Structure 1
Amino acid sequence: MNNKHRIDVHQHVLPPFWSEALNSNGGDPSGPRSGDSSNSVVPKWSPEGAIALMDSLEISTGILSLTSPGIVGWASESQAGMARKINEYTASLVSKNPLRFGNFATLPMPHVEESLAEIEYALDVLHADGIILFSNYGDQYLGDAQFLPLWQELNDRKAVVFIHPGLPITPMQGIAGPLVDYPFATTRVAVQLVLNGIISRFPAVNIILAHAGGFVPYAVHRFVELAHVFRTDTPNHEEILQSFRKFYYDTALASSPTSLPSLTAFAKRENILFGTDYPFAPAGVVADFTQYLDQHQFSDPLQRSEISHQNALVLFPRLSEQLITKGV
C-alpha cells in the first residue's frame, strides 16, 4: 500500500430502512440539510456512492458506523431488534466487499443487558471490527457507573470502540449541534472516562475518539492541572495525562492547519487515524480536509503513511491478513 491508500475509521452507513424510519422515531435535532429539497435530516447514501467517494480520495477501506442519533428515538422494546437489523445489514456489505468496508456494530444503548447480548452476536457471529458508542445517551455519559458491566465485557474482548458524539443535552439555540455541541460532547466524555477511572480500570479496550477528540488535544493540560482543584480522588498529573494519551484520535473534520498541529503535538503518533465523517460531511468538505492533511508538513514524513493506513492496520489485523491474502 502506498501512503494514500487510506483506511477511514470514521465513515457512516445509512441503511435505507433506518433512514426511512428516522423521522417517525424521534428524528434528528440537527434538522434538514441546506439545499436538500426533500427536507430530509440525513444525506443521500448508497454503498456504490461511498465506494465512488473513496476511490476519488484513494481510500481503500471505510469502517462503517451508524451515526447519532442512532436508534435512541426508537421505543425501548424495538431498539434491540433494530440494532440487530442494522448490524446484519452492515455485515452483509462487509461480506461482499471485505477490503472496502468494515463494521462498527450498533448497540441498543443505554440498555446494558441487551447491549451485552448484541456485543456477543456482533463480535462472535458477525465478526464486526468493533463497536460504536455515543458519548452520551441523554444525560448518561459513558463513564457513569451503570455502564461498568459494558466496559468489563469490552475489556475482556480487547475490543475496538469508536466513540461518536451523541445528541447534546442542552444544544445551543439556533446553532446546529454538529457545529459546536458535538465536539463538546466528545470532550466531556473523554474527561469523564479518564477522571472516573474507566481508562485505567479497563486498559485492554482500544477507544477511538471522533473528530480528534473534540477539544481534548488543545485543552488537555487544563484538564490535567485543574483535576486536583475540583476532585480529591484523581491520580497524579502524569497518570491523568497518560490516560488521555491512551485514546486513539481520528482526523475527521480535524486536519486543518490550526487543529492538526495540536493533535500531533499531543497524541501518540501511533494513535492517530484517518477519518472523514462521510456522508454527514459532504464530499466537498471531505475533500478539503483530506487536502489539508496531504499538505501538512510532518516533521517525520513517515507519519503520513502511519495516519493514512499503518496505524489502522495494527488496530484491525484482519485487514492486514486479507491484504496479504490478496497479495496487496
Structure 2
Amino acid sequence: MPEKIDVHAHYIPNAYRHYLDEHGYFGGQATPAWSPDAALEKMDELGVAASVLSLARPGFPFGDADRVAAMARHVNEYAAGLVRDRPDRFGLFAALPLPDLASALRELEHAYDALSCDGVILLANCAGVYLGDPSLDDLMAELDRREAVVLVHPNTPPGPSLTGVPVFAADFLLDTTRAALNLVRHGVLRRHPRIRFILAHGGGFLPYASHRIAGLTPGEDGSVDRDRFLRECSAFYFDTALTASPYSLPSLLAFAEPGHVLFGSDWPFASLDNSEHFTAELDAYPLPTGTRRSIERGAAESLLPRFASAETG
C-alpha cells in the first residue's frame, strides 16, 4: 500500500502550458506531459499515498500584472479542485504572482481563506530578486502570521548559463543555495520563526558546503557568526527530490535537524527516469526504521497534519 507523502510534485494545467507556449518559453527542458490520471498512476508506481502539488518554474514571468494575477488565480483554483475531488491523494502549495507584491498578498489571502491551501511555493529568485530581500518583508510577515509551509523551488539564476549544460543540472542547486543564504543572512528565519521553509533538491549545495559557507558569509552587520549560521541553515526542511543517492543522502541526513527531511519526487519534471531512479535509491538505502518513516511521511505529517489522518490509497 502506498505510504509516502510527496512534497515536491508538480502539476501543469493546460492554460499554464498555453501561457508558456504563447511566449516561446523552453527553459532548457520541454514542458512534460501531465494529467491527474497520469499523476495518480505515477504515485502508485513510486509508492506515494499523497502528493502536494505545486507549479514549477518559471512561475509567471510573462504579461502585465493583471494577466499574471489572473493566471496565478487560475492555476490555484484548478489545483484546489483536484484537492476537493481527492483530498486523500492531493494537496496544494499555492503559486503567487510575484514579482508584484500587492498581487501576491491578495492571492495568498485567497489561497488560504478560500482554497484552504496547504502552503505556498516560492521561487528562489524572481526576476533576479532572491528570497530574503527586504523588498519581500511584507510577504514574509504574512507567511509568518499564517504559519505557512513554503516550498522553495529553484529558478534560472540571473546571468548566462554554461553552454551545453542544462540549467537544471547544476545552476538550480546554486539558485536554491543562494536563496537559503539570503534568508539566513537577512535574518528572515529569526524574525519569522513560524514559517517552515522546505528547500528543494536537498537544499542544493547547502549541506555539503555548509561549513565553508558559514565561515565565509557575513551577516547584515558585516560579522561572521559560524555557529549561528550553521544552526539556522540546519533548521530548514529539505526534500529528497533528485538527492537520495548513496553520496548525497548521508550528507543531508548528517546536516539537517532530525525530522527535517521529506520525500520528494519532482515528477513530472525529473526527466527520463530520474523520479524512479532516486526513489529506488531511497528505498534501497539502509535507514533505521524511524528515520525511513520520518522521511517517507512522518515529517510531512508534522508539517501538514491533515495528511496524518487521511485515508490513503
Q: TM-score range by the shorter chain?
A: over 0.9
Provide the rounded CA distance (Å) in 2 between the counterparts of 1:77 and 1:150: 19
Extract structure 1 runs of 4+ deviating beyond 6 A. none
Deviation of 1:283 after TM superposition, in Å, equals: 6.4
Q: Is it true that 1:43 corresponds to 2:32 in the alignment? A: yes
Matching residue of 1:207:
197
Q: Is it true that 1:252 corresponds to 2:241 in the alignment? A: yes
State the identity %. Answer: 39
- Structure 2 segments unaligned to the other structure (5+ residues): none
Deviation of 1:151 after TM superposition, in Å, equals: 0.2
Structure 1 residues 127 and 219 mapped into 2: Cα distance closer, same or farther (>3 Å)? same
Matching residue of 1:103:
92
Q: How does 1:1-328 map to 2 (within 5 A)?
A: 5-25=3-23, 27-31=25-29, 41-170=30-159, 171-228=161-218, 232-234=221-223, 236-282=225-271, 284-298=273-287, 300-323=288-311
Task: Report the AA paired with residue 224 of structure 1.
Answer: A
Q: 2:173·2:203 contact (CA, 8 Å) conserved in 1?
A: yes
Deviation of 1:72 after TM superposition, in Å, equals: 1.6
Structure 1 residues 53 and 117 mapped into 2: Cα distance closer, same or farther (>3 Å)? same
Provide the rounded CA distance (Å) in 2 between the counterparts of 1:162 and 1:82: 20
Deviation of 1:319 after TM superposition, in Å, equals: 1.3
Q: 1:53·1:283 contact (CA, 8 Å) conserved in 2?
A: no
Q: Deviations over 1:203-222 (max 9, x none)?
A: 11000000000000000111
Provide the rounded CA distance (Å) in 2 between the counterparts of 1:311 and 1:231: 32
Q: Deviations over 1:163-194 (max 9, x none)?
A: 10012212222211111111110011111111
Task: Report the AA paired with residue 148 of structure 2.
Answer: A
SS at match of 2:310: helix
Task: Report the AA paired with residue 25 of structure 1.
Answer: H
Task: Report the AA paired with residue 172 of structure 2.
Answer: Y
Q: 2:131·2:183 contact (CA, 8 Å) conserved in 1?
A: yes
Structure 1 residues 80 and 234 mapped into 2: Cα distance closer, same or farther (>3 Å)? farther
- Between stretches 15-24 and 72-81, larger displacement belongs to 72-81
Provide the rounded CA distance (Å) in 2 between the counterparts of 1:209 and 1:96: 28
Please give the TM-score of this superposition, normalised by the length of structure 2. Answer: 0.95
Structure 1 residues 224 and 316 mapped into 2: Cα distance closer, same or farther (>3 Å)? same
Q: 2:241·2:264 contact (CA, 8 Å) conserved in 1?
A: yes
Structure 1 residues 53 and 282 mapped into 2: Cα distance closer, same or farther (>3 Å)? farther
Task: Report the AA paired with residue 164 of structure 2.
Answer: G
Please give the TM-score of this superposition, normalised by the length of structure 1. Answer: 0.91
- Structure 1 segments unaligned to the other structure (5+ residues): 32-40
Q: 2:215·2:224 contact (CA, 8 Å) conserved in 1?
A: no
Task: Report the AA paired with residue 107 of structure 2.
Answer: E
Deviation of 1:296 after TM superposition, in Å, equals: 1.1
Q: 1:25·1:74 contact (CA, 8 Å) conserved in 2?
A: no
Structure 1 residues 139 and 294 mapped into 2: Cα distance closer, same or farther (>3 Å)? same
Provide the rounded CA distance (Å) in 1 between the counterparts of 2:85 and 2:289: 35
SS at match of 1:168: coil
Q: How many residues align?
A: 312
Deviation of 1:16 after TM superposition, in Å, equals: 0.9
SS at match of 1:60: strand
Provide the rounded CA distance (Å) in 2 between the counterparts of 1:256 and 1:75: 42
Deviation of 1:235 after TM superposition, in Å, equals: 6.4
Deviation of 1:247 after TM superposition, in Å, equals: 0.6
Provide the rounded CA distance (Å) in 2 between the counterparts of 1:102 and 1:143: 26
Provide the rounded CA distance (Å) in 2 between the counterparts of 1:135 and 1:259: 21
Q: 1:195·1:234 contact (CA, 8 Å) conserved in 2?
A: no
